[in-house]
Structure 1
Amino acid sequence: MFDVDYRTERLSLHAIDELAARRIHDRAPQSGDAWAADYPFEGDLAAIGSFLRATEQNGEQRPFGYYQIRRRSDGLAIGGVGFKGPPNGGVAEIGYGLVPSARGHGYATEAVAALVQIAAGLGVTTIRADTDLDNVASQRSLEHAGFYQVEAESELRCYEARISHVHTS
């Protein structure tokens, strides 16, 4: 199950394991790793660090771990999307990010929508995500993926999607 890439029209989401996470964290690609020139970026490194800490504390994270986003047209890794841990009461929190060179093409929306479909197949009923108040592009990505804003805090906008209400394409 973990070796299956989840495919969308333009992307492939690949559930990484601990060894791949360490290569990404160390910025040390090996033969067979195809990365965009600006991959990984700081957001990827933060997510990978969280993934590695969770793996060390709790063991295998997949399928509720980190997925490398690869562009199908050239196979390059351009970012990541993933769960911030296993669901609690059917609710899962996610995060995502793209390298600067891949932004502005709708890839984030496509990757988030794919992760929602993965979550739906795993019994998750609600997905939560947040963005910085000034990250309008990320907010639009979530909205286009079927999320709606549920609150705004001092530094974050919080979004939610109920699986039964998310549009699948």
Structure 2
Amino acid sequence: MIPRASGTEVPSVATARLLLHPLSVAEAERIVARAPLAGDPWAEEYPQDGDVRGCGGFLRGVFERGDPGVFRAYEVRLIESGLAVGGIGFHGPPDEVGVVTVGYGLVPGVRGRGYASEALRALLEIARVAGVAGVKGDADLDNPASHRVMEAAGMRCVAENDGLRHFYVGF
């Protein structure tokens, strides 16, 4: 049985237009199953495959290590409507040198509005306040939109290999 991480100890984080909602185990399980409850305000095409994979990783981490605190999966919601339009989060707790890895994705209908960079800046602040040494992320070489997201959030390209561009920001 998976320990129940409520997410209630971890507050939601508001930006100018978004709310990063820390997912509970039950919410992540619904996303993996693509089974919203009545009243779950999900945008069309949510969850995407990346959201399902991210929530699966979060659930495995909870099973293996327990509740990750702030180093969890978050649902990205529009403040104005409450609509869930994507996900963002950490791939796990900081590694042995204090670095965390992030991932994110939004439904096609809201891309190109700066939401991903806004959400990533908020996630980077969560990491900084939590005391990590740095944050890394990567994107396929043929995904310049994701490169721009990380650059706009303050991350810089540090390497390219195996079809990926790697980004990093230290604190």
How far does residue 2 in structure 1 lie from its aligned partner after superposition? 3.0
Secondary structure, aligned partner of 2:137: strand
**Is the counterpart of residue 13 in structure 1 residue 10 in structure 2?**
no
1:149 to 147, 153, 157: 157
Structure 1 residue aligned with 2:103, among 91, 95, 98?
95
1:75 pairs with 2:82: yes
| Contact 2:10/2:69 (<8 A) preserved | no
Please state how far the C-alpha of 1:3 moved relative to its aligned partner: 4.8
What does residue 115 of structure 2 align with?
A: 107
* Equivalent position of 1:40 in the other structure: 47
Q: How many percent of aligned residue pairs carry the same amino acid?
A: 44
| 2:135 alignment partner, one of 127, 130, 146 | 127
Matched with 1:166 is none
- What TM-score do the two structures reach when normalised by structure 2? 0.91
| Superposition CA RMSD, Å | 1.2
Determine the C-alpha separation between the residues in 1 that align with 2:161 and 2:167. Answer: 11
Contact 2:10–2:70 (CA under 8 A) maintained in structure 1: no
Q: Deviations over 1:23-44 (max 9, x none)?
A: 1111111134111011001111
Give the secondary-structure state (helix, strand or coil) at the position aligned to 1:20. helix
SS at match of 1:64: coil
Q: How many residues align?
A: 163
Check if 1:64 corresponds to 2:43.
Answer: no
> Structure 1 stretches of 5 or more lacking a match?
164-169
| 1:131-156 superposed Cα distances (whole Å, 9 cap, x missing partner) | 01100000000000001000001211
Deviation string 1:101-121 (CA, Å, 9 cap, x unpaired) is 111111110000000111111
Q: CA deviation at 1:87?
A: 0.8
Give TM-score, length-normalised by structure 1: 0.92
Task: Choose from 124, 129, 132 the match for 1:116.
Answer: 124
Alpha-carbon displacement from aligned partner over 1:3-60 (angstroms, at most 9, x marks no partner): 5210000000011011000011111111341110110011111111111111121121
